[in-house]
């Protein structure tokens, strides 16, 4: 019986690990899909349009497999590491810089007077912040007027918690959207997965924290991630 329990634990861990990898594979696949579509007319000119079709169909197939796989899995429990909030936010800004520049947006970092160190699964928290920045960029692109896109990252201490904020001046959202935000597969986008925030919510809950959101149509959205300074999990 003991051996079975052990094997089940390992299987569960493997499942969770694969789930987070699968989720991250979607981003490069989306980029590849976009570039193939840009190349399509050139391939047509060379009489190789068929190649583009095959590549697109295969990318879609891979996406479907990942999609199906993710519907039955959840992110792994956090592995503790220590990082300063400002280092964390700076790394995230660096990782998303090209996407932000491509959209003609700017990211502002509200640096803390005294830096805080948090004990978190750094990779997972980065994933959450990158998901939120990508959502912000998409909300900015969907804004109808030509306001310059701006994303603000900030952090402050509130009692025994650290709060990290991700704010944008994108299109905002209505109350109905807000109430479904964290549901798995809920998306308002044509090519959305509806996984970013459900996975993020799970990650932050696994850290003993929570995510809250406020938003106004045509003004923007603000996410607040609250994390305990003394985490409820151990390495
Ligand atoms: P996806 O980005 O694939 O749609 P998410 O789980 O990341 O999935 O987001 C779910 C939905 O929440 C989005 O489709 C969008 O409607 C809404 N949303 C998330 N972030 C923002 C934001 N910064 N501004 C406006 N709407 C947002
Ligand atoms: Mg998203």
The reported pLDDT for the residue numbered 68 is 62
Lining ligand 1 with CB less than 6 A are: 131, 135-136, 139, 168, 170-173, 177, 181, 186-189, 192-198, 221
CB 207 within 8 A of CB 231: yes
The reported pLDDT for the residue numbered 112 is 74
Please, which residues bridge with residue 10 across strands?
Answer: none
With a cut of 50, which residues of the chain have pLDDT below it? 1-3, 72, 235
The reported pLDDT for the residue numbered 197 is 92
CA of 194 to the centre of ligand 2 (A): 6
According to DSSP, residue 162 is labeled E
The reported pLDDT for the residue numbered 1 is 45
Q: Specify burial of residue 67 (Cβ count, 10 A radius: 0-12, 13-18, 19+).
A: middle
Q: Which one of 135, 174, 190 would you pick to mutate in the ligand 1 pocket, going by the greatest count of ligand atoms within 8 A of its CB?
A: 135
The kind and range of the H/E element at 14 are helix 2-45
The reported pLDDT for the residue numbered 13 is 67
CA distance 79 to 198: 19
The reported pLDDT for the residue numbered 149 is 96
Looking at all shown ligands, the one closest to residue 139's CA atom is: 1
Question: Which residues lie near ion ligand 2 (Cβ < 5 Å)?
Answer: 135, 196
């Amino acid at each position: 019986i003991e051996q079975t329990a052990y094997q089940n634990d390992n299987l569960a861990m493997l499942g969770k690990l694969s789930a987070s990898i699968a989720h991250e594979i979607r981003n490069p696949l989306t980029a590849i899909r976009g570039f193939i579509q840009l190349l399509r007319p050139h391939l047509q000119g060379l009489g190789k349009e068929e190649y583009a079709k095959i590549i697109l169909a295969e990318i879609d197939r891979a996406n479907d497999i990942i999609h199906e796989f993710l519907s039955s899995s959840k992110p792994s429990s956090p592995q503790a590491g220590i990082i300063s909030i400002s280092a964390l936010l700076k790394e995230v800004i660096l990782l998303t810089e090209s996407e932000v520049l491509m959209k003609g947006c700017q990211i502002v970092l509200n640096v803390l007077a005294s830096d805080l160190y948090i004990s978190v699964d750094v990779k997972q928290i980065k994933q959450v912040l990158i998901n939120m920045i990508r959502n912000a960029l998409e909300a900015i692109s969907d804004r109808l007027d030509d306001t310059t896109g701006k994303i603000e990252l900030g952090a402050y201490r509130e009692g025994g918690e650290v709060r990290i904020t991700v704010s944008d001046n994108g299109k905002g959202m209505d109350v109905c959207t807000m109430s479904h935000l964290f549901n798995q597969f809920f998306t308002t986008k044509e090519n959305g997965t509806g996984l970013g925030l459900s996975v993020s919510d799970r990650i932050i809950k696994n850290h003993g924290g929570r995510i809250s959101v406020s938003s106004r149509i045509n003004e923007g959205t603000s996410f607040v991630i609250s994390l305990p300074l003394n985490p409820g999990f151990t390495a």
